[in-house]
Amino acid sequence: MKVLAAMSGGVDSAVAAARAVEAGHEVVGVHLALSRMPGTLRTGSRGCCTVEDAMDARRVADRLGIPFYVWDFSERFHADVVQDFVDEYAAGRTPNPCLRCNEKIKFEALLDRAVGLGFERVVTGHYARVEHTQAGPELHRAADWAKDQSYVLGVLTAEQLAHCWFPLASTPTKAQVRAEAAERGFLLAQKPDSHDICFIPDGDTRGFLAERLGSDPGEIVDRDGAVVGNHDGVHGYTVGQRRGLSLGVPSPDGRPRFVLEVKPSSRQIVVGPKEALAVSRIAGSRISHAGAPHPGLEAGLEVEVQIRAHADPVPARARMLGDELVIDAGEPLTGVATGQSAVLYEGTRVLGQVMIDRTVAADAVPVEPMVGEVATAR
């Protein structure tokens, strides 16, 4: 089988490529150049797709004896991931750039080019599993739940999954992957995992956004509308945030306050107590199915929902109402922001995801939702 191995320069993708070679496939390695600053250097575990990463990937490819190329996707990455990130924050939403990168770059742009060049599979170092069934491919959690990355792959379609191969799916632990890399003589065996947002290597998200969106002052208000502070732009805030609020008026009970809602139209940030963050319903219309759509979603289906990459899944009931997917959680969810993705699971299987357009507070959910209802959490 002709296989394209996406090699990020990390230990996971290196071992995944090695396993594909060991399995006897015709493997070609490719590194994606995503930065518009080719001189960018990696700082510890921050950043990815840097000069060091490209060199690390090349060294692994040389050791495996496979062809290696660098593909420049920097313009598309900027348009589909970086600019989308900025636009979403400007609109008062909180995006997940890793999920968007998987959707638009690694499993759309890369996969489209790979298939066009005659490759049958694209190999990556993601911790997830694809099962090929009579009904089509299914996406499942990896064996190592601590490293499971199925959440950020929940945007993949059946057609994309058909061309995906994740060789690390059944590996029990990351420690085993590192040990295997060391045994194969890969110098990156103990290289730190990258984290945070790769295109903001210093971790200063607020500063990054301020440089691009400037200052747009507004008020910070409590749930009654009383002004308790001021801000330089709604793009610096997200639901659930506690730090950096700089409130001039303390809460009556002395307890800390959290961001409950971001209102870009009025340039207001609404704050309140932690318990006011509890949400029991989320909904959205931007839906994608990881494989064939589950027929049970039309009438209502018992599922688990995960709202962040490292969040615990929560029992829920999901159903389609018109063109909207409505999810009622079995226990309150906290820190839910519009723009996030809610990924649905049935056991280990990923059913798909929906981008959250609205939320409803835990004490405001009606017994029976109405099609097109617009009640919000706050």
* Three-state SS at 174: helix
Which of 45, 19, 36, 1 minimizes the C-alpha distance to 9? 45
Residue with tokens 């799916």: 169
DSSP secondary structure, 224-268, as one string: T--EEEEES-GGG--TT--TT---SS--TT----EEEEEETTTTE
| Side-chain half-sphere CA neighbours of 348 within 13 A | 17
What lies within 8 Å, CB to CB, of 258 at 6+ separation is 240, 241, 242, 271, 272, 273, 274, 276, 277
Q: What is the dihedral of CA 42, 44, 46, 52, to 10 degrees?
A: 20
Is 198 catalytic? The answer is: yes
What does the chain come to in residues? 378
- Residue 65, Ramachandran bin (φ over 0: left; ψ between -120 and 50: alpha; else beta): left
- Of these residues, 49, 98, 101, 164, which one is catalytic? 101
The residues carrying an active-site annotation are 101, 198
